[in-house]
Amino acid sequence: MPRRRVALTALALPLAVGLVLSGCASDEQSGASAGEERTDAALYEQAVAKAKELAGDQELDSSLEFIGVNGGAEGEVLQSVYKAFTEATGTAVDYTGTTDLYSIVQSRVQAGNPPDVVDQPLGVALEYAKQGKLLDLSEVVGDDVLQASYSADLLETASNDGKVFGLYQGFNNFMLWYNPEQYTGPEDPQSWQDIVEWTDEQAAAGSPVWCLAEEAGPASGFPGAQFIENLFAKKYGPDKLEAWGAGELAWTSDEVKDAWEMFGSIAADDAKVAGGVQGALAAPIATGYNGLVENPASCQMALWGSWVPGLIGAAAQPGQNIDFFKVPGGSEEYASTEIFQTTVSTAFNDTPTIRAFMQYIASDEAQALLASADQWPVANRNVPTDTYDSVMLQKAAETYFGDDVTLAIGPNVMADAAVGSAFWKGVVTYLQDPSSLDAVLQSIQDVVDRS
């Protein structure tokens, strides 16, 4: 079945929550503090040389404006990459990280004065691309350059009508987290059934092995929604995942219901969840995974994003008491389908300066410089894994960005705000009362039908 280009709408995940998660993950991965020089000096010089090459003899503007979601240490990492462009060209990159991105960009666009470059959620960016407001990066950077550095699946997720509108910088993936010092489960699970059978065995022995935390204020339930989407992707594949997210596959379909039931067979069972189901519903996302590294551990496994070690904090020692597996497939055919969470860098204005800058941040040299900061994995396939010092980032890059991986998008990225909110609320309702599943799915479908 050929992959489709589908229409995305506003990203459902609240920006404030996303910022908290990305920041926590980054601090743990890097082990560095704000203000510390973290990029590699030799790679910095290579990035400067590349920026000079791209600028050529053009006389560029004295500055460009860039607004994004990352502030603090994360914003400083990005600015260290943009600093090389400034040294090469004389163009200052005025970067601002803000939690008020949506309203700022929307008001500026409506006023006809958009920022030059914006790093924004994928679904929001595609809405602007559909309106013809974003620079066509297939033309600016070149399809040949992009295809040599990024997977076709990834480029497709940031494209509209065959034209790439956004560039990925940092990435967050989803995985099974465990504590190697205390974990008793399958060490190389080949299928989701391996995890299910171990979970059942432990539950029968009186040991609930799963860490779950769903409390996030108005976004409560969204970790469960991402759990469900992972299970769906791994069993039914990228095309049905996109169809679900686009509203083409009903929430009441057999496939969607099956993914919810797979989730519920674990998450709605007190014997399988540390602290029981009510404990999971009450556990805040910021501390709900600490049990993985307690001694003795109060749980043995969690399925969530790459930010989990950062949420745990200093007690998490990568490779010692915290590590991850790739989520195994519910079907062998789609075991390599992976969902992700990130933003894309987009350009609203078209000048030689902005063109040169977008070419720069897409380049292998700029991506390698970003990787060397040990903040996030980057999706550029030409960046060697040994560019990272972090063993977690090396493993993430090796696991999620190979040619055998299909990066896919679904409701997590594609649902509008109303549908996303209904999804999360539905997770909470389902966990409170598993018999309500049919009503929950119909209620979400009703929201889709009204959208």
CB-based contact 135:358 (threshold 8 Å): yes
Pick the closest to residue 44 from 377, 368, 394 (CA basis).
Answer: 368
| Continuous segment of H or E residues that includes residue 23 | helix 15-30
* CA angle (446, 449, 451) in 5-degree steps: 110
Q: Is the pLDDT of residue 188 over 90?
A: no
Pick the closest to residue 212 from 310, 284, 271, 318 (CA basis).
Answer: 284
Q: Give the span between the Cα atoms of 273 and 208, in whole angstroms.
A: 5
The interaxial angle of helices 222-245 and 192-204, nearest 10 deg, is: 150
Q: Give the span between the Cα atoms of 7 and 94, in whole angstroms.
A: 32
For residue range 62-112, what is the model confidence (pLDDT) as tens digits? Answer: 999 999 988 888 889 999 999 999 999 999 999 999 888 888 999 999 999
93 φ, ψ to 5°? Answer: -95, 105
Buried (b) or exposed (e) across 332-354, using 16+ Cβ within 10 A? eebbbbbbbbbbbbbbbbeeebb
CB-based contact 92:59 (threshold 8 Å): no
Helix ranges, 161-253 (H):
192-204, 222-245
The residue whose two tokens read 């791994």 is: 234
Residue 34, CA distances (Å) to 133, 311, 376 in order: 34, 17, 15
Q: Give the span between the Cα atoms of 264 and 266, in whole angstroms.
A: 5
CB-based contact 353:64 (threshold 8 Å): yes
Whole-structure pTM value: 0.84
pLDDT of residue 137: 98
* CA angle (151, 124, 419) in 5-degree steps: 105
pLDDT of residue 415: 78
For residue range 6-53, what is the model confidence (pLDDT) as tens digits? Answer: 222 223 344 445 544 544 444 444 444 444 568 999 999 999 999 999
- The whole-number average pLDDT for the span 191-215 is 97
- The whole-number average pLDDT for the span 376-381 is 90
- Local structure of 81: helix, strand or coil: helix
- The whole-number average pLDDT for the span 156-182 is 93
Domains of the chain: 15-171+342-383 (3.40.190.10), 173-339+411-450 (3.40.190.10)
Rounded to the nearest integer, the mean pLDDT of the chain is: 90
CB-based contact 9:123 (threshold 8 Å): yes
Q: Give the span between the Cα atoms of 330 and 74, in whole angstroms.
A: 35
For residue range 109-167, what is the model confidence (pLDDT) as tens digits? Answer: 999 999 999 998 887 898 899 999 999 999 999 999 999 999 998 999 899 999 999 99
Task: Report residue 442 as tokens.
Answer: 């119909």
Q: Give the span between the Cα atoms of 115 and 106, in whole angstroms.
A: 10
Buried (b) or exposed (e) across 388-415, using 16+ Cβ within 10 A? bbbebbbbbbebbbeeebbbbbbbbbbb
For residue range 211-257, what is the model confidence (pLDDT) as tens digits? Answer: 999 999 888 999 999 999 999 999 999 999 999 998 999 999 999 99
The residue whose two tokens read 């219901």 is: 257
Q: Give the span between the Cα atoms of 202 and 278, in whole angstroms.
A: 20
CB atoms within 10 A of CB 58: 11
pLDDT of residue 124: 84
Q: Rg (Cα) of the chain, in Å, rounded?
A: 21
| Per-residue confidence band for 335, with pLDDT thresholds at 50, 70 and 90 | very high
Helix ranges, 268-390 (H):
276-282, 308-312, 352-362, 364-371
Q: Give the span between the Cα atoms of 12 and 45, in whole angstroms.
A: 39
Task: Report residue 92 as tokens.
Answer: 């200052």
Q: What is the dihedral of CA 356, 361, 363, 369, to 10 degrees?
A: 130
Q: What is the dihedral of CA 283, 335, 241, 178, to 10 degrees?
A: 10
Residue 40, CA distances (Å) to 80, 348, 368 in order: 10, 31, 9
For residue range 408-441, what is the model confidence (pLDDT) as tens digits? Answer: 989 887 777 789 899 999 999 999 999 999 999 9
pLDDT of residue 36: 52
Q: Is the pLDDT of residue 301 over 90?
A: yes
Task: Report residue 370 as tokens.
Answer: 């970003």
Task: Report residue 27 as tokens.
Answer: 């601090």
Residue 113, CA distances (Å) to 25, 62, 65, 204, 350 in order: 34, 18, 11, 62, 13
- Local structure of 184: helix, strand or coil: coil
With 0-12 / 13-18 / 19 or more C-beta atoms within 10 angstroms meaning exposed / middle / buried, residue 143 is middle
